[in-house]
Amino acid sequence: MSDTKAVDRHCPEHGTFDVTVKWGSDATFAKHPCPTCGRKCGRPRIETGNELPMTQLPGTWPQTSFFGGVHPSQVNELREHLRKHGVNAEVLPSGDVKFTSRGQRRAYLRARGMVDLDGGYSD
């Protein structure tokens, strides 16, 4: 087995290039100079095609909450309660609640007297 390996580095101007480093060395994660321009370049960035924060990715919203909901017989009461508190979260006929954003989920939980233990700093 060889004690060196090739790692990718990415120069914004000249694209991806390979660098050979020793196995287990800190050089695996270090920036290396581009062979064309000499600029220090790091590991290539994974392009997702979507530069939104993870919490706002299209697959994240809308969210449906079973545990934040109510029994189907209480749907009309909950809708009226939310209307009084100015929260426009959708209450489904099953009693589940559908959120379209973090802010909407936060407002809903506040109106119900609940706390989101999975919330972040801005929740």
pLDDT tens digits for range 107-119: 999 999 988 877 7
Complete DSSP assignment for 3-42: SEEEEEEEETTTEEEEEEEETTSGGGTS-EE-TTT--EE-
pLDDT tens digits for range 55-73: 555 567 788 888 888 999 9
pTM of the predicted model, to two decimals?
A: 0.52
Q: For 6, what's the count of Cα atoms within 13 Å in the CB-facing half-sphere?
A: 4
